[in-house]
A and B are shown apart, each in its own frame.
Chain A
Amino acid sequence: MALAAAAVVAGGLLSACGESGKPVLNWYINPDGQDTLTQLAADCSTDDYDIQIQLLPTGATDQRTQLARRLAASDSATNLMSLDPVFVPEFANAGWIAEWPEEWASKVVDDDVLEGPADTVRWDDGVYAAPQWANTQVLWYRKSLAEKAGLDMSQPVTWQQVIDAAAEGGGTVGVQADRYEAYMVWINSLVAGAGGDIVSDTEAGKDAQVDIDSQAGKDAAAVIQALADSDAAQPDLTVSREGTSLPFMYDDNGEFMTNWTFVYKNYEPGDGKDFTQEQFDDLGFARYPRTVEGEESRPPVGGIDVAVGAFTDDLDQGFEAATCVSNAQAQQQLAANDGLMPSRQSVYDSAELKDAFPAELLSLFQESLDAGAPRPKSAYYNLISGAIQASWHSPRSVDPDTTPADSAAYLEAVLRGEALL
């Protein structure tokens, strides 16, 4: 036992704080834009503290698990954390992240912040995080493929049109349909695009109203079924993620792909990338496809909010640091370097962004954020998302006649604690 005790001490010492006894604020980040975030951490370190990056795993669910495990253990060394907006209510409800006092809150949620992202950090009349960047999906496509199939991309398109066009032109349609959070993102946008929602009255927690067994749910299921049955489905449809459909863009005839804003920077020719200017010129973008004819599409929205751990010793340092890493300048760097779009209007208007992105793309991003369909805002979001993923996966088994009804029954049972997830 003495040796074991010695080991604890050794383990503790190894992780002790940085040079010169300055306190270290640990900032848990998700891997997107890692280099820029590292730079931001250095820039926002002050004479009073150093901000140190701690990397979270890939995937929203794993990130949540990691953070929640630390916070459930009342960890005082979790100072800052990058949170997927959908987990803000859960973390706030559990008392894991600190509520921002008015003096700080007014700095991170002011008039300059777009309404969509601003809403993600509010819970129970309080502000619980600082919006850092806002993500949305658009329809990326190979112009030559759309031309070949004769699809007019200047007009709003429906999913059915996109699927048919891809099949006709010998191309594919890239989506995210693995059993993970981004599949929930897709389903949520499809349902919202048909004028419905998955759940409502989410303030009621476990007693929320489950709405997915509806015409909108059926319309959404029909889209997924149509893609799964089409030749345009990518071979790895059932495990497709954001990254897996990227190579299809310049493979053979190319693809249509709904994906986040980072895609533009991904294909932009530059150091260490294989893409040519000619290929890049062939890359088109358009508003997220409609679920049903005649109804506006509701693109997915996401992004990252920076929250402050509730168990840290000096909350004010945390608020200050979180404010710094999410200010306009920080957002500009994230957008220009990594294609992670700002949550502040002024940044969209800045010269740097106008240099980095075509004007039409910037306005498309803003339009998409405004029209976006947020995912349910619930302290039990994790259960909702998990239940939907479970009953809608695999996409090949989705059937409009059964899947929405089955998933509604299952989700209700899960919320009541009567079914295993």
Chain B
Amino acid sequence: MSAVATAPGGTSAKKQQKNGRNELSDRLKAENSLGQRLVAPAVAIMLLVTAFPILRALYLSFYNYSLTSPDDREFIGISNYVTALSDGLFWRDIAMTVLYMVVTVAIELVIGFAFALVMHRIVFARGVIRTSILIPYGIITVVSGFAWQFAFTSSNGFVNGWLPFIDDGFNWFGDTTPAVIAIMVSEIWKTTPFMSLLLLAGLAQVSEDMIEAAKVDGAGWWQRLFRVVLPNMQAAIMVAVLFRALDAYRIFDNIFVMTSGAVGTESISFLVYRQTIEQFQLGMGSALSVLLFLSVLLVAFIIVKLFRVDLARARGE
């Protein structure tokens, strides 16, 4: 799971009005140094595990370096990048990853919004709903993957029996399309609650007066939804989409558990994993790591541009 979009810090610490210039500047200096000291450990830990390794990956990506024959390590310039970027598998995995991202986020948005609407209106059983909706959120992704994998298998599952138009012996993991559907179901099941809670919070921000006013003006339910409710919770939707999309783009656990990347279900994260951890091709794996990192930045950039997410506003600045 990724982090959550919260909005800290913005209204913080407007400098208190103080009398006397010296006192003010001393106090500011002390505040500055205290602030930096307080954030330093957190920043150090965050960078230790991200900045340094990604720089090392950048360095290794220019080598032909396999862990099984470490003595043959040699500098090969950008060959790894050329190979990766001209390889059909790389682009197929990128396309597959984008497909996972777009489909799951779109479906989650719709179902999550429907859930949020229900939760917003109900006055009974709130605790029960809240509890149940948090279980998929908290459950281990690997467990969700197993639960759905077993559900879809013909030997021990129930899905084939429940779906009238599916043969009882149908093998969901034998072909790309059904296998991808199974993986998406697990992914969507687990993350829709998160989406619906974010949207619920957004829904709570929409003023009832505006909705009432629209009602008085004779707007129907759909009109109120699209003209009043949705535009007024745009920020919440965008933040939810951005975070979920970047999370979905990194999809790995469900694929690992459900298909191990077989029948063309592999994502870009899975490709990187295979190259580095299974094949021990640290050089090529590092190049792919760097490309994955860059592609995440690109996806984030596109989403922000496309949906005009105001990050500053999301951050509350």
Shortest CB-to-CB span from A252 to chain B, Å, is 12
Asked if A421 and B279 make an inter-chain contact with CB atoms under 8 angstroms apart, the answer reads: yes
* Residue of A239, A382, A394, A419 touching B89 (CB-CB under 8 A): A419
Residues of chain B touching chain A, judged by Cβ–Cβ distance below 8 Å, are 64, 67-70, 79, 83-84, 87, 89-90, 154-155, 169-171, 173-175, 260, 262-263, 271, 274-275, 277-280, 284, 288
Query: In whole angstroms, how far apart are the Cα atoms of A418 and B279 in the complex?
Result: 15
B68, B84, B169, B277: most-surrounded residue (chain A CB, <10 A): B68
Is A417 on the interface with B (CB-CB < 8 A)? yes
Q: A235-B171, A419-B87, A420-B87 are known contacts. Are A72 and B280 too (CB-CB below 8 A)? A: yes
Asked if A417 and B284 make an inter-chain contact with CB atoms under 8 angstroms apart, the answer reads: yes
Shortest CB-to-CB span from A123 to chain B, Å, is 13
Query: In whole angstroms, how far apart are the Cα atoms of A93 and B87 in the complex?
Result: 29
* Residue of B171, B271, B277 touching A239 (CB-CB under 8 A): B171
Q: A419-B87, A420-B275 are known contacts. Are A68 and B174 too (CB-CB below 8 A)? A: no
Residues of chain A touching chain B, judged by Cβ–Cβ distance below 8 Å, are 61, 65, 68-69, 72, 90, 93-94, 178-179, 235-239, 244, 247, 379, 382-383, 386, 393-394, 396, 417-421
Query: In whole angstroms, how far apart are the Cα atoms of A238 and B278 in the complex?
Result: 22
Query: In whole angstroms, how far apart are the Cα atoms of A417 and B82 in the complex?
Result: 11
Chain B: CB-nearest residue to A236: B171
Query: In whole angstroms, how far apart are the Cα atoms of A68 and B284 in the complex?
Result: 18
Closest 9 CB pairs of A and B: A238-B174, A235-B169, A179-B262, A94-B68, A236-B171, A420-B89, A420-B87, A72-B67, A239-B173
Name the B residues within 8 Å of A235 (CB-CB): 154, 169-171, 174
B64, B260, B284: most-surrounded residue (chain A CB, <10 A): B260
A-B contacts, CB under 8 A, total: 72
Q: List 20 A-B contacts (CB under 8 A).
A: A65-B277, A72-B67, A94-B68, A178-B262, A235-B169, A235-B171, A235-B174, A239-B171, A239-B174, A239-B262, A382-B68, A386-B279, A393-B263, A394-B174, A419-B83, A419-B89, A420-B84, A420-B87, A420-B284, A420-B288
Q: A235-B154, A417-B83, A419-B87 are in contact. List 19 more A-B contacts (CB 8 A).
A: A61-B278, A65-B278, A90-B68, A94-B68, A94-B70, A235-B174, A236-B174, A239-B171, A239-B173, A239-B262, A379-B68, A382-B68, A383-B279, A417-B64, A419-B89, A420-B83, A420-B84, A420-B87, A421-B275
Asked if B68 and A93 make an inter-chain contact with CB atoms under 8 angstroms apart, the answer reads: yes
Shortest CB-to-CB span from B276 to chain A, Å, is 11
Shortest CB-to-CB span from B6 to chain A, Å, is 26
Name the A residues within 8 Å of B279 (CB-CB): 382-383, 386, 421
